Amino acid sequence: MLKNIETHIQHLSAQFDHISPERKVLLTELAGYICGKIKKEESVKLNFICTHNSRRSQMAQIWAQTAAEYYSIKNIECYSGGTEATEFNPRAVTAVKQYGFEVINNSEGPNPVYQVKFSEDTQPVMCFSKIYSDPSNPQKSFAAIMTCSDADDNCPVVIGAERRFPVRFEDPKKYDGSEKEPEKYMERFEQIGREMLFVMSTAKKLI
């Protein structure tokens, strides 16, 4: 684990009491799903879904994979997608970089592909905007984790998903161009990190 990331993880892991009891119930259900798959010796495939696959779903994919590695939970594969493809928003990319993740832009164009590294010893998370059914994502036997209300409300059926979890986060997009933009993107990134760490920590205890 990269040193800065490990330090941040230790900080966020000490803040599980910041998560509301109601929210913990929902996150524990996701942890139970992960535990059940692992006990059956099945791969755990988590697809984080948001409308544009540009901010929250990308952040959640990065954090869930990082948290699984931190808690040494094997056979977890994290993905993200949307109901339409746009780009991994540059503001979100900046928040990821500022938190200490190593981010490498692998391509040019309107929808670049980024490698996001949290450790020197593991494969990077590949981040780019795509629809949830993109060939690079699982097509069956995965959990659909709905990270925004729009996708959750307007996508009643996620084809191929065996479970669905409405883990919604407020969109930092509403602060774009304002003085609060950097603060709110970091606030959302830390919230998602804290909650994904809680999920994996809980799953580890249940296994």
DSSP string, 26-83: HHHHHHHHHHHHHHTT--EEEEEE-SSSSSHHHHHHHHHHHHHHHTT--SEEEEEEBS
Task: Give dist(CA 75, CA 206) in Å, integer.
Answer: 16
Pairing of strands 44-49, 142-146: parallel
Task: Give dist(CA 139, CA 115) in Å, integer.
Answer: 22
Show Cβ contacts of residue 23 under 8 Å, excluding neighbours closer than 6 positions.
195
Task: Give dist(CA 94, CA 74) in Å, integer.
Answer: 29
* Predicted confidence pLDDT, tens digits, the chain (207 residues): 999 999 999 999 999 999 999 999 999 999 999 999 999 999 999 999 999 999 999 999 999 999 999 999 999 999 999 999 999 999 999 999 999 999 999 888 999 999 999 999 999 999 999 999 999 999 999 999 999 998 888 787 899 999 999 999 999 999 999 999 999 999 999 999 999 999 999 999 999
**Hey, what domains does the chain have and what are their CATH numbers?**
3-206 (3.40.50.2300)
- Looking up tokens 């996150």 gives 27
Task: Give dist(CA 107, CA 85) in Å, integer.
Answer: 16
Q: What pTM, to 2 d.p., does this model score?
A: 0.97
